[in-house]
Amino acid sequence: MTLEQFQHQFSSEAICADALFRLKWPDGFRCPRCENSSFYVVKTRRIPLYECQKCRHQTTVTSGTIMEGAERNCANGSQLSFSSSA
């Protein structure tokens, strides 16, 4: 699947975030820093932010993946700037 097809298929934000989550963590959330599997969802942004319950590292579904940038499309063009250290 190309990125274009992906973006076309997942035009809805909610579906998009969910699909990206499953693409990134097919076996469930895993903190990129400490590998903890429990997390909080921070929904103050249009694309949810996932915060590790253990080390409080924050990550998005697309940070560090080839889908980086897709979230901008998912969010319907709004310019989000993520302060995540990724």
Shortest approach of Zn ion to residue 30 CB, angstroms?
Answer: 9
Shortest approach of Zn ion to residue 85 CB, angstroms?
Answer: 12
Show the binding pattern over residues 57-76: x = contacts Zn ion (CB under 5 A), - = does not.
x-------------------
| CB count in 10 Å sphere of residue 10 | 20
Q: Does 30 bind Zn ion (CB under 5 A)?
A: no
CA–CA separation, 40 and 49 (whole Å): 8
| CB count in 10 Å sphere of residue 77 | 7
Residues binding Zn ion (CB under 5 A)? 31, 33-34, 36, 52, 54-55, 57
